[in-house]
Amino acid sequence: MTSIELKDLVFLDEMGVLLGLMRTHARAAPGERAYDFKPFYRGKKVSVMGAITVSKVLAVMTIDQSMDAVVFEVYVSKCLVPQLWKGAVVVMDNLPAHKV
């Protein structure tokens, strides 16, 4: 790693957001009780993938499903690779979808 320039490192990661989640805590006026209902989760999930360097965001993609190998391959080929340069080194975690 010491031979790689910092400007050539590209860090890739993803996250999921569940849009139907409810808060587990609430605030109320002193002496009052907070009331709400918590419906069964039926919202959709959004996955966000992105790559950053020390100076900028390179490629971001969102999808309305979970990350899998097919989605990862599309992200890499259509979003990430066109943004890379000679000497770029992509760093990612060991998510099973990354192993394609």
Q: Is the pLDDT of residue 99 over 70?
A: yes
H/E element holding 57? Answer: strand 57-63
- Tens of pLDDT, residue by residue over 40-96, are 566 788 999 999 999 999 999 999 988 889 999 999 999 999 999 999 999 999 888
Tell me what the mean pLDDT of segment 23-42 comes to: 80
Cα separation, 34 vs 32, whole angstroms = 7
Q: Which pLDDT score, from 0 to 100, does residue 9 have?
A: 97
Q: Where are the domains of the chain?
A: 1-19+41-93
Cα separation, 62 vs 50, whole angstroms = 9
